[in-house]
Amino acid sequence: MPILRVALAQINTTVGDLEGNRSATARAIDEAKRLGAHIVAFPELTITGYPPEDLVLWPSFVERNEMQLEQLAASTEGIVAVVGYVNAGPDGRLYNAAATLFGGQVKDVYHKIHLPNYGVFDERRYFTPGTGCPVLNVAGVRVAVNVCEDIWEDVGPSELQCADGKAEVILNINGSPYWIGKQEWRTRIVTGLAKRNRAFAVYVNQVGGQDELVFDGASIVADPTGHVIAIGPSFEESIFAVDLDSEKVTHVRSSLDHEPESIELREQFGPLREVTIDLDRATAFGEISAPTSETPSDLDCVYRALVTGTRDYVRKTGFEKVAIALSGGIDSTIVAAIAVDALGAENVTGVALPSRYSSEGSVSDAQELASRLGIQLWQLPIEAAHRGIEGLLQPVFENTEPGVAEENTQSRVRGTTMMAIANKFNWLVLTTGNKSEMATGYATIYGDMAGAFAVIKDVPKTLVYELCNYRNTVGPGSPIPQAVIDKPPSAELRPGQLDEDSLPPYEILDRILDRYVVDLKSSDEIVELERALGDRGADEATVRRLTRLIDINEYKRRQAPPGPKITQLAFGRDRRIPIANRYRG
């Protein structure tokens, strides 16, 4: 029986770099040829980069992406390539498409049928659902082609392609963003798809950061019994191949008592079309070894996602260097470590901005961190500017009680200073606020929130500590001083200030945040859940105060810089709550 060699190209594309994406795809096609592959598959919307969002509303953008696809077809002598792009129909409608290229020609175009419109996805804003689906005949093996969400629904075109079209391989191209636990979910989807259709399932995913999204690759191949036979590396570009023996499909399907019913499937996803590829070789050549590495731990994946997201945001926006305000605290410390791992120490500058309230330990901890990371540290005390702002405001603040407004002037002096440095040297400022702070508004708008990219915006405070300990266990070195991990967190905007003066312990805060934002529990429900925890739970006043803080600080979050999504539900694209809004959960 025929054996099909399939190459999976999990590459890092850049949205809008049509020519660059085409060139990267062509290089990967050449590599797949060297691997002896019959067919090579690329991620979703390969040519445009994913997600292109409103760029697809420009007719010139769509036209140029189609021109690049036509040029790419010239690279497909002797190999089949399945490539994602935006296809414009004769009626002007747009389709999220997978093109089958071979022998210098576009042999088939498949239009994605299931269009996701939840979470970070807005595909129904741009695209029209497809009708009909192909089965390719490549080297004697029947291959179903579809796109991403098409296999995430309970029933999709794969079922028709296998039942009616007798497909032995399901080839699914993806732009599937990372979040904690996503790979386990994907594996269940892919293995379930393979098992219920009794076919090989080939799932190829992209790699890299795009604004707030991070793509982790980790492409999967499963056999007809639902057993995983290959897993691509996480957060790394990779081109690898796997041999799929169609005899295994025949054997598994021969044990069936009946053929699956496909009449309803035809009504949903038909018509089915067959596409014959005249590949002049029936066998692959050369030895290959498919990757089967275990999935990294959650902490490893989170850290690598933050590194990937930071690196690609800086590079893809055309910058090289970043500046970080180093306070000697846990948040700026982990941001600095991530930045160095993403960009190299030579491209990261730390800036210490001590005020009259900064402890001696904060400055020395920032110095120690900079020394361990090998980055330059500038020390710019803000006392003169702080006193200047106080003097400026004195006539209108006179006879009022000092409070948060006075405290926040320090943060705003720091924000202005950091933005001036970035402006002068053409750098980006990385902000250091975590998800717990962003949720409750424990951050100064136009102060410590000022910057270009919020590296840990989606990282709860408790996870920040875990990441610091994790980073100290992996090479090179142990960059994070233990003193930073051990000391109580403080904004140091007034004498003796601690975070827990204003907020409950972060273990409690993060738990309530998760229940309110992710699980969509009401305040009343959270109160009951906390009571059930006894002494470990929060009292009713704390629950209601925190949920109100989350609600009323939406306006701050809307003005925060983008940052990489690493949880199932991130502020921003995932959660769109009106700012002018009187509903209280």
Q: What are phi and psi of 219, to 5 degrees?
A: -60, 150
- The DSSP annotation for 209-253 comes to EETTEEEEB--EEE-TTS-EEEEPPBTS-EEEEEEEEHHHHHHHH
Q: Are 140 and 128 in contact (CB under 8 A)?
A: no
Catalytic residues: 44, 112, 148
Count of CB atoms situated within 10 Å of the CB of 405: 10
If you ran DSSP here, which 8-state letter would residue 516 be given? I
Helices 330-343 & 461-471 angle (0-180, nearest 10)? 50
Residue 280: how many CB atoms within 10 A of its CB?
7
Looking up tokens 């576009």, which residue turns up? 106
Helices 383-397/404-425 angle, 10° precision:
130
Q: Torsions phi, psi of 140, nearest 5? A: 85, 5
Q: How many whole angstroms separate alpha carbon 74 and alpha carbon 349?
A: 45
| Amino acid letter for position 7 | A
Contact 566, 182 (CB under 8 A): no
Amino acid at 160: L
* 3-state SS record for 403-452: CHHHHHHHHHHHHHHHHHHHHHHCCEEEECCCHHHHHHCCCCCCCCCCCC
Residues 6+ apart with CB under 8 A from 490: 329, 497, 498, 499
DSSP 131-153: --EEEEEETTEEEEEEEGGGGTS
Angle at 176 between CA 335 and CA 66, to 5 degrees: 115
Determine contact, residues 464/570, Cβ cutoff 8 Å. no
CA of residue 331 relative to chain centroid, distance: 21
Buried b / exposed e over 14-27, threshold 16 CB at 10 Å, is bbbebeebbebbbe
Going by C-alpha positions, the residue among 116, 49, 215, 152 that lies closest to residue 566 is 215
Backbone angles phi, psi at 333, to 5 degrees: -65, -50
Distances (CA, A) of 319 to 57, 339, 348, 399: 27, 13, 12, 47
Strand ranges for 223-347 from DSSP E? 228-231, 238-245, 272-276, 322-325
